[in-house]
Amino acid sequence: MTEIPKNHPRYESLMAREQIVAGVEKGMTSRQGLIAQGRGEAFDYLIGENTTEGAAYAEAVAVCLLLLAENPVISVNGNAAALAAAELVMLSQLTGAKLEVNLFHRTDERVKKIIGELKENGADVVLGENAEPLLPLEHERAKVERDGIFDADVVFVPLEDGDRCQVLTDMKKLVIAIDLNPLSRTAQTAHVSIVDNLKRALPNMIDMIPEFRNMNEEDLWEIVDAYDNNVVLMDAIETMKENLTAKQNEILGIDEDSDKNDGKPDETGGKRSGNDKRNAEREEARRNARIQRNAETARKVMMRGGDLMME
Amino acid sequence: MTEIPKNHPRYESLMAREQIVAGVEKGMTSRQGLIAQGRGEAFDYLIGENTTEGAAYAEAVAVCLLLLAENPVISVNGNAAALAAAELVMLSQLTGAKLEVNLFHRTDERVKKIIGELKENGADVVLGENAEPLLPLEHERAKVERDGIFDADVVFVPLEDGDRCQVLTDMKKLVIAIDLNPLSRTAQTAHVSIVDNLKRALPNMIDMIPEFRNMNEEDLWEIVDAYDNNVVLMDAIETMKENLTAKQNEILGIDEDSDKNDGKPDETGGKRSGNDKRNAEREEARRNARIQRNAETARKVMMRGGDLMME
């Protein structure tokens, strides 16, 4: 793996990227998994790379459901194994959920590699090798184990595809999904949609287990019943809009503390003659005027009052 | 390449993904390129997978700048070559811009492969093999050709990294970037930021050339001078916010035409007995009540008046 300094502003995101690339090298993660990781990065950036209040709520409800379930199963794909094998194993052990490898681009080799990775991280039994085409989907994607996902009452699917999520809910299973895209079909279809990074969501959930483990079933069901997935989705989208507005304000704000921007040292270096200095001042004045104009027009666009196109 | 039906709702996006994977197989595109493609997909989805008015404006200004430039250079990386080799060659021929292969994860082998791809698509000369470390960046990323990007007055960089974009503007070059992420450092640093998919932007630009080719320099400069990059960025972010709001309304709209959702055929199939029918009606009433509540709470969240967390 490439060495990334811990103080890099995007350390977490870059580390995750390295883990996914390592997953490809280990033969666990597919090329499509790399593209999916990129999509996730973009949505995570928009969500603020933080667990929102709504996501924490969904994570709590997910823990309740896993504790309530009679036959919960955690579905594991190549990206999940590359990013959080140890956390998946721990969640499985603490909730009694089975682990089942379930791949969109399934090959027996990748299934074996992922099972190996989970076992290296402490898993005892991992399902997936004896999968049969039991779901109403085309052959390879239809495969699940009879004692695993097929019989499960609650399925926890970090990073699932929309079709399969739909099929699982049609089979009356309760589906918990982790998906950073609140607009995805998976997020819209699952019963509990955790709009959070897998690498934040799983440790959060593990931390929450002691709080819920000793509650009686009735209290747990009360929490689950009160949960409203649309509210959580709405909240995630709202957070993205707020972050986009903050970015707009940041761009517009340039003129409000322009001295901060213009006060930075001249990058060409060296001392300036009097002439150079006057030129520089003129240049600065011009730039300020331009920035001023930008901010004014940009504000109009934010209000959708401006006419963008040249005539 | 996987066969994708032309009528698939996400045909363009899936085709691009296949092209990028093919680029990796050909040795042109890096694994990081796959992740970058995923990020692009997410932002393209938010922008509506369409050329916005603001993007069309930026594309027009980019064409003017390429026509005005004395030594314009089109920088080509592995993703650009995988997605639009023919269009890059055509743009180069119609504007007189040189082509230079310039990679973030540079290897001589990848440079050669990309040059080969561009030549197969009709390019005569492609720079990049004789690059020297001329930019103030660490060794590999510093490499550009002296007669190419180093001497260029206008550099067109589809899919550039932020550091290098900054260095090029510091060198007083005019930089045109294509970047679907209006929040990226590249988009914020370039003089003209085209927030559009490469595969839409390049054909648009090629189509615009006849309109501008016969204009005199003064008129072209007038168009360039009137251009305001912040307005275009603001517009792109605004479009994303609007699309997110539309999605929220779609989720909230469930109750407004609930008969559309509830009228769909019962997926369990078969005829219902009178008892079943009464149960189904009760079930439907319950579901409607729940949906109603969802919409109400969700509206509150949109107004940020609701309290999400359970007590």
Domain ranges of chain B: 53-227, 253-310
Report CB contact under 8 Å: B39, A38. yes
How many whole angstroms separate alpha carbon B7 and alpha carbon B18? 16
Residues B187 and B175 sit within 8 Å (Cβ to Cβ): no
Report CB contact under 8 Å: A21, B31. yes
The total number of residues shown for chain B amounts to 311
Q: What is the pLDDT of residue A258?
A: 42
In the stretch 113-152 of chain A, residues with CB closer than 8 A to chain B read: none
Mean pLDDT, contiguous 10-residue spans, chain A (311 residues):
66 86 90 90 95 95 95 95 97 97 90 97 96 86 92 91 87 94 92 96 96 93 91 94 92 53 42 58 52 49 45 33
B chain contacts of residue A221, beta-carbon cutoff 8 Å:
none
Q: What is the pLDDT of residue B2?
A: 54
Q: In this complex, is the C-beta atom of A17 within 8 Å of any C-beta atom belonging to chain B?
A: yes
Report CB contact under 8 Å: B42, A181. yes
In the stretch 75-114 of chain A, residues with CB closer than 8 A to chain B read: none
Backbone torsions φ then ψ of A222, nearest 5 degrees: -60, -45
Q: What is the pLDDT of residue B296?
A: 55
A chain contacts of residue B32, beta-carbon cutoff 8 Å:
17, 21
Q: What CATH superfamily is the domain B53-227? A: Phosphopantoate/pantothenate synthetase (3.40.50.12640)
Residue range B36-76, pLDDT digits in tens: 999 999 999 999 999 999 999 999 999 999 999 999 999 99
Predicted structure pTM score? 0.80
Q: What is the pLDDT of residue A23?
A: 92
CB burial readout B206-245, b (16+ within 10 A) else e: bebeeebeeeeeeebeebbeebbbbbbbbbbbbbbbebbe
Q: How far is A125 from chain B (nearest CA, A)?
A: 32
Report CB contact under 8 Å: B297, A45. no
Q: What is the pLDDT of residue A288?
A: 47
Q: What is the pLDDT of residue A289?
A: 43
Q: In this complex, is the C-beta atom of B22 within 8 Å of any C-beta atom belonging to chain A?
A: no
How many whole angstroms separate alpha carbon B136 and alpha carbon B186? 17
